[in-house]
Structure 1
């Protein structure tokens, strides 16, 4: 779709592709033979919920359907499956710290796991000084170099330093400013503004890098601009806010004040259509990645500003 913002700039969001590609295995004969001889399981996408792109242009997928972590080299490499040294019963969130580390949450294990790119991607438990209660969304705040983790069952966000020490907690259960009712997904932009999906309050809350309340928008409803089952959230380089909604089967785009700009998607299995979209990630080039959970794929879109 095309849309305009308050500065009267015109933008276009267009479908770019999907991962894995439809009807494409990606393995050559030698790779298939090696997998058969050594008993390696093929990489299969089953109900992906989280995604991101690392500095090597690899696309990461968290498979909640079979508890696996996959990565896909976008430049022609095949989809690969990480070693299964740790079973993951409920993968949810993923974020990147600097250039070489990925952090992943498992809401059933109440753990955060760290993957170091130079260590064959073997996940290890990230040591935290405090126990977590159903960790879901996770994000790294670059200005403060702190790790934010949503604890859905505790209706709060816990903030840790990179040594795993608890710095502070944000929020409690409620409906007031800075209070939450089953928060889930989280995104922090380069300026340190946090965008929290306050799921059962059917709103998005904006917090500053110290955790202070800034604003909120949204309400429950079944029409455009409202929220029915809000999921993943992200922002682009222009400050627009993207929110996946699993009941609407679309992604809504808002300005920084919460006004609806446009939406894309709809129910279905074709290009640009969704069946319960969940996670969303936007890279530095405004490529938009959406986990299309029940279609077992990640779809890529591009945002372009019209000259």
Structure 2
């Protein structure tokens, strides 16, 4: 199906993923996504605290064609989820970003730290301290690098944005609790566009705010609600090379698309089909196949977004939407009158 808007259309391409509690070809409560320079996807799995599911908290690396590349990271045992948690482990992993060299940085809002992994998935260090002083944070969430490899971090429970060097040296901060311009209440996602401007999903205030790289407020859009352009707990945000803004409207179960000035363009509700990994799993289990055949209107129900939490875009016009509740990524392709879109 093609969602028609003028002058932009979005064509559904395919779905990636299925539920996989431990490891392998699937996800377990995915919460974040990013792309490397080779267009490989990194999905961060928040997982579960249930002891049987191990190592469900992990990063899954795969291609757009659903070929698994590798995994890294693992769940920390609850009794070790403190300041001395082993390197490379997660408790409540929240976001992932890659620097210019492909080094992965993962935030953890329980451990209040950033974990660093090289291109092979080996943990090379951690940094971060619980607090509200400069360089300290409380429940960190969104991460994004600028072109100079400075790391912008959403300091969720401190209701602010902090800027660091990639080595963890504090550079700047802005924001505090409130509803005014430049103020936040439990912000979540963050994005930096091609001009270096910073977009923040102001979660509890149900809006998106845009800032200059130094934190100067530029604009805002969105109000609470279910109508077009209204938001109910926005989480993820992405900006493509044309300046089009994509927001995962978490509690409204949709992806909303906005113009460069924040005006509403369209919304996507989901068009999922069974993924390659999903088909492989169903074909191995005849009882699962029979169950799917008996379920009324299954295809119509399961195609819709449920818990869309993160979004990423590439320069080929592809849009990747992560659904935490349905353990998958839906892929769409943007088309315009002047851009026909890249490969499906």
State whether TM-score is above 0.5: yes
Alignment gaps of 5+ in structure 2: 48-55, 75-86, 130-134, 272-299, 339-344
Bigger fraction of residues in strand: 1
Is the CA contact 1:51–1:62 (under 8 Å) kept in the aligned structure 2?
yes
Is the counterpart of residue 274 in structure 1 residue 264 in structure 2?
no
Task: Let me know the Cα RMSD of the aligned residues.
Answer: 2.2
Matched, 1:17 2:48: no
What corresponds to 2:114 in structure 1?
Answer: 112
Residue aligning to 2:145: 140
Distance across 2 between alignment mates of 1:282 and 1:17: 15
User: Which of the numbers 295, 300, 303 marks the counterpart of 2:331?
Assistant: 300
* 1:120-199 correspondence runs (5 A): 120-127=120-127, 130-142=135-147, 144-199=148-203
Asked if 1:73 is matched to 2:77, the reply is: no
C-alpha displacement at 1:125, in angstroms? 3.2
Aligned to 2:31: 49
Q: CA deviation at 1:145?
A: 3.7
Take 1:125 and 1:81, find their aligned partners in 2: how far apart are those partners?
Answer: 18
For residues 50-90 of structure 1, give each alpha carbon's deviation from its aligned partner in whole angstroms, at most 9, with x where no partner exists. Answer: 01121123211111123121111335633643253633121
1:181-213: CA deviation from partner (whole Å, max 9, x where unpaired): 111100001111111011111111100011111
Q: Alpha carbons of 1:172 and 1:104: their partners in 2 closer, same or farther (altered >3 Å)? A: same
- The number of aligned residues is 282
TM-score under structure 1 normalisation? 0.85
Distance in 2 (CA, whole Å) between partners of 1:111 and 1:245 is 27
Distance change in 2, residues 1:262/1:170 (3 Å):
same
Task: Kindly indicate whether the alpha-carbon contact (under 8 Å) linking 2:25 and 2:68 is maintained by their aligned counterparts in 1.
Answer: no
Counterpart in the other structure of 1:240: 244
1:231 corresponds to 2:235: yes
What whole-Å deviation, never above 9, does each CA across 1:194-238 have from its counterpart, x for those lacking one? 110111111111000111111111111121210112110001121
**1:99: Cα distance to partner?**
3.4
Distance 1:269 1:110, change over 3 A: farther
Cα distance, 1:166 vs structure 2: 0.6
Distance in 2, matches of 1:135 and 1:228, equals 21
